Amino acid sequence: METIKPIQINTNKELKNEKLTSAEMGKLWATYMGNSMSIQILSYYLKNVEDKDVENLLNNALNLSKEFLAKITEIFQKEGFPLPVGFSSDDVNLGAPRLFEDPFYVHYLKYVAKAGLSIYMIAIPLMYREDVKSFFQDSMDKTMQLMEQINSILMNKGLIKKPPTIPTPDKATFASEHFLNGYIGDVRSLHALEITHLYDNIENNVTSKALITAFSQVARNKNIRDLFIKGKRMTEKNVEHYIQKLHDENLPSPSLLDDLITKSEFPPFSDKLMLFHKVDMFSMKIRTMGNSLAVNGRSDIALMYVKSLTNIGRFVSEGSKIMMKNHWMEQPPFALDRENIK
């Protein structure tokens, strides 16, 4: 039985040559920047990989990034929209020694694929022009296919633990007055959605911690290296807090990935690329924390996430200032400033 029945709508011919909306411009711009960076990173990974399955996965991811970039370029050029500078071969040294072991690449791909999916999921309901809407729907579908391959390799190679299992409820129940307790009184056990987001935050942050640890090892600019070290320590504390919440309930958690970093101190990427990447990753954490807070009930967990958000915001602010000082921070499209029209 067909659940969603087709609706015949009279097409407005005036919409055939419609301009890009602010939402379409913004999401296309952000997707361009991310994939411009990914092409450089994945190209380097492919120069330092041994596992054939992981190599095939990296090739699929690289081909997707190139395809997405080409499609956005086509839309922008049709609109006379200036292409972002983004990142190029000047931002990667393909001859640099290996910085990561093969398993890290799979965890990394899962992290960035999740970030991409979050952009596409928000974008799709806001897209109205057919070519842009089709692009983001296609991007979502293909990224989901890549995610299936990522999870399959993670599980089949024993590189990850699935989220914890909990008992099936006997019946539907309603919350009592102690549902929100976290520090005092009768504190309930974690519910399924709290466990889900704790697990997700740990999974994201162990990858983020390994990446920023490696970046702090190879960054050339002292201020950037110091910021990476600060971000590593902050992420380490966050991971410890999230893991402790699960362990207090006798639930397992994802493992750290720091052992997948080599001892190389030779930078494969420019300081510009590494700083942009970490500021972007930490910005994505803000959205993830917001989602975590939205489904949380316990006051202790809420306060833990609020503290994390505050520290993450400081890192993003400091990183952005360094990028602006070095003229590395490209601006997305702006609304017209009617107060200062010349």
Please spell the DSSP secondary structure of 57-84, one letter per residue.
HHHHHHHHHHHHHHHHHHHHHHHTPPPP
pLDDT at 263: 97
Is residue 144 located within the same domain as residue 255?
no
Is residue 144 located within the same domain as residue 203?
no
In a domain, 290, yes or no: yes
User: What does the pLDDT average to over 136-154?
Assistant: 97
Is residue 32 located within the same domain as residue 104?
yes
In a domain, 248, yes or no: yes
Our CA angle for 242, 157, 113, nearest 5°, is: 55
What is the per-residue pLDDT across 55-65, written as a single tens digit (0 to 9) for each?
999 999 999 99
Is residue 148 located within the same domain as residue 196?
no
Categorize the per-residue pLDDT at 182 as very low, low, confident or very high, splitting at 50, 70 and 90.
confident
- Give the 3-state secondary structure of residue 181: coil
Is residue 28 located within the same domain as residue 117?
yes
Is residue 239 located within the same domain as residue 128?
no
In a domain, 1, yes or no: no
The distance in angstroms from the start CA to the end CA of the chain is: 60
Is residue 203 located within the same domain as residue 144?
no
Is residue 34 located within the same domain as residue 137?
yes
| CA of residue 223 relative to chain centroid, distance | 24
What is the per-residue pLDDT across 67-98, written as a single tens digit (0 to 9) for each?
999 999 999 999 999 999 999 999 999 999 99
Output 12 or 115, whichever has higher pLDDT.
115
| CA of residue 272 relative to chain centroid, distance | 18
Distance (Å, rounded) from C-alpha 162 to C-alpha 154? 10
pLDDT at 325: 97
The single-letter DSSP state of residue 263 is S
In a domain, 197, yes or no: yes
In a domain, 254, yes or no: yes
Tell me which residue of 166, 302, 161 sits closest to 241, measured CA to CA: 302
Residues in the chain: 342
Categorize the per-residue pLDDT at 190 as very low, low, confident or very high, splitting at 50, 70 and 90.
very high
Mean pLDDT lowest for which of 177-191, 272-286, 287-301? 177-191
What's the domain range around 216?
Answer: 192-325
In a domain, 239, yes or no: yes
What is the domain-level CATH number for residue 271? 1.20.1260.10
User: What does the pLDDT average to over 148-161?
Assistant: 96
Beta partners for residue 100, in sequence order: 261
CB 278 within 8 A of CB 261: no
Number of domains in the chain: 2
- Give the 3-state secondary structure of residue 269: strand
What is the per-residue pLDDT across 268-289, written as a single tens digit (0 to 9) for each?
999 999 999 999 999 999 989 8
- Give the 3-state secondary structure of residue 112: helix
Is residue 257 located within the same domain as residue 210?
yes
CA distances from 283 to 72, 286, 309, 312 (A): 23, 5, 10, 8
pLDDT at 5: 72
CB 287 within 8 A of CB 118: yes
Distance (Å, rounded) from C-alpha 329 to C-alpha 145? 32
In a domain, 335, yes or no: no
pLDDT at 12: 58
Is residue 254 located within the same domain as residue 198?
yes
